[in-house]
């Protein structure tokens, strides 16, 4: 594996609220290699956005990093001061938001919003910054950038706005791009275009990407590796093929089964129950209440990571040598077979 | 933009016309005649006088005379009771400067103070600073200005003797300004509180907005992002509350002027109504309406200049 550009170790984040401590992210570790796309997948509320906010040092006032390290370029972002963070935020690590409609300042010209960071950090003169902004707009596929430069967000469609948000994120030439559900707010055809754009930019700029989503269908097209998150913890991670073709954690099974499938008319599976309340995360394996494969031990003790391969780990007691042998549900096995066949056909063409 | 301005001006004229009509009707429908107060007239003489001035014609006919005079000759009539035979605008003109001075100064000092207090309350949200400011906001908004006027007059002027008890129209220079301080202060509490409350709300919302987050993640410092995005965006809707604020000051001024014996428009309005000086009352009403409408116009236009969605969208896009 190539050089690790970002390492998150034992990160724990919680929020103080009137009801008590919200344990949003609990002791997660992962790393990002240079030039790869790492997808973080999980249901709403699993702590994906909180993780990105911690990495970028923009947790809201009531949130604190309780422990752990975020290592980037010899710095520990979990402990660095506001001042130190300024050299990283936007310049080395940037963020693409979920909702491009609200992410742009409604009363500031698009061009100015792209240039702003460059000019304010004195990285470029106004003229240079404008050149760069126009070039970025061209690169993210905005037609007639000279005209668009002087327009306001309300004059852009949702997909165009997301392209602008991407251009803004790229303005200072960052090394790492975090995309927090960049396509969730867009309709399907636009989604595909934006994903393509992100892939293309990644190649050109040699970016490393953390791609956050709750939609595994999107992941297959972009990710080299996948981390599955549930209730503030990572429950399985591995290379993309490993997660798709050989998932081990029952939560991953559930996620894969609930993925919409255009080929079959089969009833869409939805995971029973709701994600736990993070004020009082359940003891043991947080998923056990919704898990038909739960073992007795799951109610008491959280599973450690079991190694499946050098790159593939899963936190589930089912992988313990003493556990009964359990196969993924039949629907999922059939689905995996179909996916494999289709991939083979693609490769054969 | 020109179309936008033309639309607004047209709307203003129409509104003014409607107000003029309503003012005319309401005042003419009030009981009593302008000759009521003159005890030395026989019934015949009143009849002759009333006929001479068409006061016994149907209301619509009277309204036509009234409009014709205004539109064709720009003749708004003369005062009949307060300052007989003096054109109404002259009577009014002698009272306007002091009232406007008090009201505009009050508006001008309220804005920066309110803005600063609002910014502090928002940035130090849910701290002692915020709670203290919010407490005063509640007090200032709920207590009417004439109470403040009375309290200030009693303690600062009467008990402590720091200021003159009433407005001193004859004094010049420092003494005059000194006597203006209390009425202006009394008028300013409520507008300050309104600006503070509004800006605090706006700013808190903008500070937690997504584009504020984007501003930070693209590499702006917290201060840069706050000033260039949150604050800038909070000031735009501020223009909206200047209208109710200014009308608030104007109406407050009607009473506060009385308390400090300021010979301004407020006193004149009360006097003209009491003495059935209809033409003067109408002129004063039109004057107040005109000021409010102009404020609205200015605010509307500035809104168009500040907010691109209004300026460019023209309503088509949002
Ligand atoms: N400011 C906050 N105060 C209190 N709790 C918070 C705050 N922000 C997030 N949380 C809690 O943290 C948990 C994780 O939230 P997060 O936004 O990371 O979810 P997510 O995985 O990004 O979900 P989604 O797919 O909906 O974006 C949730 O339970 C949420 O309620
Ligand atoms: Mg999220």
pLDDT in tens, B82-140: 888 888 888 888 888 888 888 989 999 999 999 999 999 999 988 999 999 999 999 99
Q: For residues A237 and A16, what is the distance between their CA atoms, to the nearest angstrom?
A: 29
- State the Cα angle at B267 between B265 and B273, rounded to 5°: 100
Do A213 and A181 form a contact (C-beta atoms < 8 A)?
yes
Task: Among A104-108, A341-345, B190-194, name the one with the lowest average pLDDT.
Answer: A341-345
In a domain, B272, yes or no: no
Distance from CA of A99 to the nearest CA of B (A): 8
Position B288 confidence tier, pLDDT thresholds 50, 70, 90? confident
Element (H, E) at B310: helix B308-311
Cβ contact (<8 Å) for B309 and A168? Answer: no
Give CA A21 to chain center in angstroms: 24
Which of B217, B229, B233 is closest, CB to CB, to A58? B217
In a domain, B18, yes or no: yes
* Residues lining ligand 1, Cβ inside 6 A: A 15, 17, 22, 24, 42, 44-50, 60, 62-63, 214, 278
| Percent above pLDDT 70 for chain B | 95
Do B3 and B306 form a contact (C-beta atoms < 8 A)?
no
The sheet carrying A225-230 orders its strands as A93-96, A176-180, A208-213, A37-41, A225-230, A233-239, A313-314, A306-307
In a domain, B269, yes or no: no
Q: For residues A203 and B215, what is the distance between their CA atoms, to the nearest angstrom?
A: 26
| Residue B102 sits in the same domain as residue B134 | yes
Tokens matching residue A133: 């902004």
Residue nearest to ligand 1 atom 25, measured at CA: A44
Cβ contact (<8 Å) for A107 and B313? Answer: no
Residue A21 is predicted with a pLDDT of 92
Adjacent-strand bridge partners of A212: A40, A180
| Residue B220 sits in the same domain as residue B162 | yes
Do B229 and A117 form a contact (C-beta atoms < 8 A)?
no
Cβ contact (<8 Å) for B308 and A152? Answer: yes
pLDDT 10s digits, A233-261: 999 999 999 999 999 999 999 999 888 76
Q: For residues B303 and B309, what is the distance between their CA atoms, to the nearest angstrom?
A: 10
Cβ contact (<8 Å) for A103 and B317? Answer: no
Q: What would you measure as the largest C-alpha separation in chain B, in angstroms?
A: 87
In a domain, B133, yes or no: yes
Q: Give the DSSP per-residue string, A32-73.
A: EETT-EEEEE--TTSSHHHHHHHHHT---TTEEEEEEEEEET
| Residue B150 sits in the same domain as residue B248 | yes
**Over 70: is that where the pLDDT of A178 sits?**
yes
| Residue B57 sits in the same domain as residue B182 | no
Task: Compute, in angstroms, the gap from residue A48 CA to the centroid of ligand 1.
Answer: 8
Q: How many CB pairs under 8 A join A and B?
A: 82
**Closest ligand (CA of A50):** 1
| Residue B108 sits in the same domain as residue B256 | yes
Which of B221, B232, B233 is closest, CB to CB, to A86? B221
| Residue B122 sits in the same domain as residue B258 | yes
Do A170 and A113 form a contact (C-beta atoms < 8 A)?
no
Tokens matching residue A188: 């399907």
Residue B167 is predicted with a pLDDT of 80
The per-residue pLDDT of chain A, averaged, comes to 90
Mutate to test the pocket of ligand 1, among A11, A20, A22, A42 (most ligand atoms within 8 A of CB): A22
Q: What average pLDDT score do residues B26-41 get? A: 73
- What is this structure's pTM? 0.81
Q: Give which of B228, B214, B226 is closest to A166, Cα–Cα.
A: B214
Q: What average pLDDT score do residues B11-28 get? A: 89
- Probe site for chain B from A88, A107, A132 (most B CB atoms < 10 A): A107
Domain boundary among B263, B287, B305: B263
pLDDT 10s digits, B41-62: 777 888 887 777 777 788 888 8
Burial per residue of B16-28, b for 16 or more beta-carbon CB atoms within 10 angstroms, e otherwise: eeebbeebbeebe
For residue B236, which residues of chain A lie inside 8 Å, CB to CB? 107
Adjacent-strand bridge partners of A23: A14
- Probe site for chain B from A116, A166, A179, A180 (most B CB atoms < 10 A): A116
Give the nearest chain A residue to B315 (CA atoms).
Answer: A154
- State the Cα angle at A196 between A195 and A201, rounded to 5°: 100
pLDDT 10s digits, A32-42: 999 999 999 99
Q: What average pLDDT score do residues A15-25 get? A: 93
Task: Compute, in angstroms, the gap from residue B250 CA to the centroid of ligand 2.
Answer: 49
**Over 70: is that where the pLDDT of A8 sits?**
yes
Q: For residues B265 and A251, what is the distance between their CA atoms, to the nearest angstrom?
A: 76
Residue-number span of the structural domain to which B51 is assigned? 1-95+278-318
| Residue B81 sits in the same domain as residue B103 | no
In a domain, B70, yes or no: yes
Position A50 confidence tier, pLDDT thresholds 50, 70, 90? very high
Alpha helix (H) residue ranges in chain A: 48-56, 82-85, 100-103, 110-120, 126-139, 145-148, 158-170, 188-205, 216-222, 240-245, 250-257, 330-348
Residue A258 is predicted with a pLDDT of 84
Which is it for the CA torsion A300, A306, A308, A311, positive or negative? positive
Which SS3 state, helix, strand or coil, does residue A110 take? helix
Residue nearest to ligand 1 atom 17, measured at CA: A49
Q: For residues B125 and B7, what is the distance between their CA atoms, to the nearest angstrom?
A: 41
In a domain, B79, yes or no: yes
Mutate to test the pocket of ligand 1, among A15, A28, A212, A218 (most ligand atoms within 8 A of CB): A15
Q: What average pLDDT score do residues B32-45 get? A: 73
| Residue B282 sits in the same domain as residue B219 | no
Cβ contact (<8 Å) for A97 and B221? Answer: no
**Over 60: is that where the pLDDT of B317 sits?**
no
Distance from CA of A104 to the nearest CA of B (A): 5
Element (H, E) at B187: helix B173-207
| CATH number for position B215 | 1.10.3720.10
| Residue B119 sits in the same domain as residue B257 | yes
Residue A100 is predicted with a pLDDT of 85
Tokens matching residue B313: 């969208």
Q: For residues B18 and A349, what is the distance between their CA atoms, to the nearest angstrom?
A: 77
| Percent above pLDDT 90 for chain B | 28
Residues with CB in 5 Å of ion ligand 2: A 49
In a domain, B270, yes or no: no
Most confident of B147-156, B171-180, B304-313: B147-156
| Residue B252 sits in the same domain as residue B283 | no
Distance from CA of B221 to the nearest CA of A (A): 7
Cβ contact (<8 Å) for A89 and B306? Answer: no
Residue nearest to ligand 1 atom 8, measured at CA: A50
CB of A90 within 8 Å of any CB in chain B?
yes
**Closest ligand (CA of A51):** 1
For residue A97, which residues of chain B lie inside 8 Å, CB to CB? 210, 213-214
Distance from CA of A213 to the nearest CA of B (A): 18
pLDDT 10s digits, A319-332: 999 989 888 988 88
Domain count, chain B: 2
Q: For residues B287 and A279, what is the distance between their CA atoms, to the nearest angstrom?
A: 61
| Residue B7 sits in the same domain as residue B103 | no
| Residue B135 sits in the same domain as residue B256 | yes
Q: What is the ipTM of this complex?
A: 0.85
Residue nearest to ligand 1 atom 3, measured at CA: A15
Cβ contact (<8 Å) for A104 and B214? Answer: yes
Do A329 and A272 form a contact (C-beta atoms < 8 A)?
no
CB of A82 within 8 Å of any CB in chain B?
yes
- Probe site for chain A from B218, B229, B232 (most A CB atoms < 10 A): B218
């Amino acid at each position: 594996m190539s050089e690790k550009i970002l390492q998150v170790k034992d990160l724990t984040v919680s929020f103080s609220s009137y009801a008590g401590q919200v344990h949003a992210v609990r002791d997660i570790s992962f790393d990002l290699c240079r030039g790869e796309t790492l997808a973080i997948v999980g249901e709403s509320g699993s702590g994906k956005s909180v993780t990105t906010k911690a990495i970028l040092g923009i947790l809201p006032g009531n949130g604190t990093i309780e422990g752990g390290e975020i290592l980037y370029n010899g710095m520990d972002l979990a402990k660095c001061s506001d001042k130190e963070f300024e050299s990283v935020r936007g310049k080395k690590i940037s963020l693409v938001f979920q909702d491009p409609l609200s992410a742009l300042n409604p009363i500031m010209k698009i061009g100015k919003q792209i240039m702003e960071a460059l000019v304010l950090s004195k990285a470029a003169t106004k003229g240079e910054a404008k050149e760069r902004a126009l070039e970025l707009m061209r690169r993210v596929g905005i037609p007639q950038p000279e005209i668009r430069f002087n327009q306001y967000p309300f004059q852009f469609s949702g997909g165009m706005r997301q392209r602008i948000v991407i251009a803004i994120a790229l303005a200072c030439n960052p090394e790492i791009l975090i995309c927090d559900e960049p396509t969730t707010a867009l309709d399907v055809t636009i989604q595909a275009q934006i994903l393509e754009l992100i892939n293309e930019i990644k190649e050109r700029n040699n970016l490393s990407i953390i791609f956050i989503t709750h939609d595994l269908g999107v992941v297959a097209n972009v990710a080299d590796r996948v981390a599955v998150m549930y209730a503030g913890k990572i429950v399985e991670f591995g290379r993309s093929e490993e997660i798709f073709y050989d998932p081990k954690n029952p939560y991953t099974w559930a996620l894969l089964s609930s993925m919409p499938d255009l080929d079959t008319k089969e009833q869409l599976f939805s995971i029973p129950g709701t994600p736990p309340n993070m004020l009082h995360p359940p003891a043991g394996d947080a998923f056990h209440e919704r898990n038909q494969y739960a073992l007795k031990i799951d109610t008491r003790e959280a599973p450690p990571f079991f190694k499946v391969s050098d790159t593939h780990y899963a936190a589930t007691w089912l992988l313990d040598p003493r556990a009964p042998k359990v196969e993924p549900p039949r629907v999922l096995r059939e689905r995996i077979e179909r996916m494999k066949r289709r991939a083979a056909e693609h490769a054969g063409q | 933009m020109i179309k936008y301005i033309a639309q607004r001006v047209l709307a203003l004229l129409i509104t003014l016309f409607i107000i003029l009509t309503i003012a005319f009707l309401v005042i003419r429908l009030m009981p009593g005649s302008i000759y009521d107060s003159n005890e030395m007239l026989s019934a015949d003489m009143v009849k002759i006088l009333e006929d001479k001035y068409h006061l016994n014609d149907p209301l619509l006919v009277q309204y036509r005379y009234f409009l014709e005079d205004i539109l064709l000759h720009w003749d708004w009539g003369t005062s009949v009771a307060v300052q007989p035979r003096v054109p109404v605008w002259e009577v009014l003109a002698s009272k306007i400067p002091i009232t406007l001075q008090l009201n505009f100064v009050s508006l001008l000092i309220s804005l920066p103070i309110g803005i600063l207090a609002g910014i502090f309350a928002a940035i130090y949200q849910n701290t002692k600073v915020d709670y203290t400011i919010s407490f005063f906001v509640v007090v200032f908004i709920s207590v009417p200005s004439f109470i403040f006027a009375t309290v200030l007059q009693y303690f600062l002027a009467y008990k402590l003797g720091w200021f003159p008890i009433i407005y001193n129209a004859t004094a010049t220079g420092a003494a005059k300004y000194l006597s203006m301080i209390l009425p202006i202060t009394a008028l300013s509490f409520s507008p300050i509180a309104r600006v503070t409350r509004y800006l605090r709300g706006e700013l808190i919302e903008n500070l937690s907005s997504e584009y504020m987050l984007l501003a930070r993640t693209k590499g702006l410092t917290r201060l840069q992002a706050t000033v260039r995005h949150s604050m800038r965006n909070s000031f735009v809707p501020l223009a909206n509350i200047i209208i109710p604020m200014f009308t608030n000051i104007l109406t407050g001024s009607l009473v506060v002027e009385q308390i400090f014996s300021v010979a301004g428009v407020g006193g004149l309005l009360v006097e003209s109504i009491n003495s059935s000086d209809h033409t003067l009352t109408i002129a004063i009403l039109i004057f107040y309406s005109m000021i409010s409408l102009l404020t609205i116009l200015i605010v509307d236009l500035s809104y168009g200049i500040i907010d691109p969605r209004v300026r460019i969208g023209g309503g088509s896009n949002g």
